[in-house]
Amino acid sequence: MDLSKIRTEDDVKRATLEIPGYTVFDSMVYAATFRIPRGRVSTYGRVARMIGKPKAYRAVAHSLHRNPLFPVVACHRVVKEDGSFGGDAAAAAGRRRNCEEEGVPTAKGKVMMKKELIF
């Protein structure tokens, strides 16, 4: 799959569904995450609400954990409600570094959840 050809949410959905083992739910999660601008973050719960599945925040987290479209779908921009990064310590540290490189302010390993940062 050539990630450089992904330009739109529809491209994200199509690319996801071409990969064996990925579902329509995954394609919706990745398309919603694709919309999060550089330097901003969202939460698993907000992404779940964006796709019309408000109680599916854990499924969103699981789907993003398996994201095959990184860096086009910047899953590091999705954090827990308290601003912390999910997953094991090494992976969480990598996502934190990616966010910091985009200008997202962090303190004590968490995003400083300011209204203007949340997408």
* Catalytic option among 75, 92, 111, 117: 75
Q: Which positions ≥6 away from 44 have C-beta within 8 Å?
A: 57, 58, 60, 61, 64, 78, 79, 80, 81, 86
Looking at residue 5, its amino acid is K
Q: How far apart are CA 3 and CA 19, in angstroms?
A: 13
**Bridge partners for 110 per DSSP:** 84, 107
In the annotation, is 99 catalytic?
A: no
How far apart are the C-alpha atoms of 12 and 58, rounded to whole Å? Answer: 21
Active site residues: 75
